[in-house]
Structure 1
Amino acid sequence: MLSRVAFRDLWRIQWNSHAFRRPRNMAPHGPLRQLDQECATGESLRFITATRWPPRAFRQVRRVGVPSVECLPPASRHRLTEPRSGPGHIARCGIPYSWRPPGISSGPSPIPRKELVMHSSLIDAVRRRDAAQVSALLRSGADPHVRERATGLPVLAIAAGQGDAAVVRHLLGAGADVHAMDSRGGTTALHKAVQGGDLETVRLLVEAGSFIDAVGPTTGHTPLMDALWYKWPDIVAYLLEQNAMVNLETHYGFSLRERVEYELGANSEGTERQKLLAIADAMRRRIEEDERAVAGQALMRAVTEGNLTEVERLLEQNAEVDEVSPVVNGFNDGHTPLLVAARDGHFDIVRALIAAGADVNAVEPTFGAVPLHKAVYMGHADITGLLVRTPGTDIDYQGATNGYTPLHDALWHGHEECARVLLDAGARTDLLGHDGRTARDIAAGVFGPGHRIVREIEAAAVRPRA
Structure 2
Amino acid sequence: MTLPTLHQLITQGDLDGFTQALQDGADPNQLDSVMGNAPLHIAAQRSETAFVKTLLEHGAFINLQVPKHGVTPLMVAVWHRKPAVVECLLADKYINVEISSHFGLKAQQLIDFGAADDDRFGQQQAEQIRALFEQHHKQQLKQQATMEAFNIVTAASSSDQEKAARLRALSQQQTLNATSPVTSSGNDEHTAVMVAARDGLVASLRQLMDLGGDQQIPDHYMKAIPLHKAAYNGHAAVIELLADYPGFQETLNAQGPNNGYTPLHDAIWHGHLKAAQALIEAGADIELRAYDGTTPLELAKQYQYQEIAELLGSNK
Q: Secondary structure at the match of 1:320?
A: coil
Which of 245, 249, 253 is the aligned partner of 2:104? 253
What is the letter of the counterpart of residue 229 of structure 1? Answer: W
Q: Which structure has the highest strand share of the two?
A: 1
Is 1:349 equivalent to 2:199 in the alignment?
no
Cα deviation, residue 445, structure 1: 1.8
| Runs of at least 4 residues off by over 4 Å | none
What is the letter of the counterpart of residue 18 of structure 2? Answer: V
State how far apart, in whole Å, the 2-side matches of 1:177 and 1:275 are.
32
Q: Compared with structure 1, are the counterparts of its residues 390 and 161 closer, same or farther at alpha carbon in structure 2 (3 Å cutoff)?
A: farther
Partner in structure 1 of residue 218 of structure 2 = 363
Q: Unaligned stretches of 5+ in structure 2?
A: none
Partner in structure 1 of residue 13 of structure 2 = 163
Partner in structure 2 of residue 446 of structure 1 = 303
Deviations 1:285-308 (A, max 9, x none): 111221232233222111112411
What is the letter of the counterpart of residue 165 of structure 1? Answer: L
Q: Compared with structure 1, are the counterparts of its residues 318 and 292 closer, same or farther at alpha carbon in structure 2 (3 Å cutoff)?
A: closer
Is the 8 Å Cα contact of residues 325 and 332 (structure 1) preserved in structure 2? yes
Is the 8 Å Cα contact of residues 74 and 89 (structure 2) preserved in structure 1? yes
What is the letter of the counterpart of residue 272 of structure 2? Answer: H
What is the letter of the counterpart of residue 167 of structure 2? Answer: V
Deviations 1:159-181 (A, max 9, x none): 13433221111101111111222
Deviations 1:414-463 (A, max 9, x none): 10111111112221223232222222222112234xx2321332444x4x
Q: How does 1:11-90 map to 2 (within 5 A)?
A: none
Is 1:177 equivalent to 2:33 in the alignment?
no
State how far apart, in whole Å, the 2-side matches of 1:183 and 1:434 are.
26
Partner in structure 2 of residue 380 of structure 1 = 235
What is the letter of the counterpart of residue 207 of structure 1? Answer: E
Cα deviation, residue 263, structure 1: 4.2
What is the letter of the counterpart of residue 16 of structure 2? Answer: A
Cα deviation, residue 262, structure 1: 3.6
What is the letter of the counterpart of residue 142 of structure 2? Answer: R
Partner in structure 2 of residue 417 of structure 1 = 274
State how far apart, in whole Å, the 1-side matches of 2:244 and 2:275 are.
13
State how far apart, in whole Å, the 1-side matches of 2:218 and 2:241 are.
18
Q: Secondary structure at the match of 1:447?
A: coil
Partner in structure 2 of residue 220 of structure 1 = 70
State how far apart, in whole Å, the 2-side matches of 1:194 and 1:163 are.
13
State how far apart, in whole Å, the 2-side matches of 1:192 and 1:376 are.
41
Which of 268, 275, 283 is the aligned partner of 1:426? 283
Q: How does 1:236-385 map to 2 (within 5 A)?
A: 236-243=86-93, 244-264=95-115, 266=116, 268-305=118-155, 306=160, 307-314=163-170, 317-385=172-240
What is the letter of the counterpart of residue 336 of structure 1? Answer: T
State how far apart, in whole Å, the 1-side matches of 2:236 and 2:196 are.
14
Partner in structure 1 of residue 40 of structure 2 = 190
Partner in structure 1 of residue 252 of structure 2 = 395
What is the letter of the counterpart of residue 69 of structure 2? Answer: T
Task: Give the structure-1-normalised TM-score.
Answer: 0.63
Q: Compared with structure 1, are the counterparts of its residues 436 and 263 closer, same or farther at alpha carbon in structure 2 (3 Å cutoff)?
A: farther
State how far apart, in whole Å, the 1-side matches of 2:178 and 2:76 are.
31
State how far apart, in whole Å, the 1-side matches of 2:210 and 2:175 are.
13
Is the 8 Å Cα contact of residues 178 and 205 (structure 1) preserved in structure 2? yes
| Aligned-residue identity in percent | 34
Q: Compared with structure 1, are the counterparts of its residues 355 and 163 closer, same or farther at alpha carbon in structure 2 (3 Å cutoff)?
A: farther
What is the letter of the counterpart of residue 452 of structure 1? Answer: E
- Greater shift after overlay, 170-179 or 295-304? 295-304
What is the letter of the counterpart of residue 240 of structure 2? Answer: G
Q: Compared with structure 1, are the counterparts of its residues 235 and 380 closer, same or farther at alpha carbon in structure 2 (3 Å cutoff)?
A: same
Is the 8 Å Cα contact of residues 303 and 340 (structure 1) preserved in structure 2? yes
Deviations 1:248-267 (A, max 9, x none): 21110112232113445x45
Partner in structure 1 of residue 56 of structure 2 = 206
Q: Which has the higher contact order (CA 8 A, sep 6+)?
A: 2
Q: Secondary structure at the match of 2:169?
A: helix
State how far apart, in whole Å, the 2-side matches of 1:267 and 1:216 are.
29
Cα deviation, residue 390, structure 1: 2.5
State how far apart, in whole Å, the 2-side matches of 1:354 and 1:278 are.
44
Cα deviation, residue 319, structure 1: 4.3
Q: Secondary structure at the match of 1:318?
A: coil
Q: Compared with structure 1, are the counterparts of its residues 350 and 161 closer, same or farther at alpha carbon in structure 2 (3 Å cutoff)?
A: farther
* Rg larger for: 1
Is the 8 Å Cα contact of residues 398 and 404 (structure 1) preserved in structure 2? yes
State how far apart, in whole Å, the 1-side matches of 2:22 and 2:175 are.
37
Is the 8 Å Cα contact of residues 70 and 101 (structure 2) preserved in structure 1? yes
Deviations 1:334-380 (A, max 9, x none): 11100011111110111111112211111011121100011111111
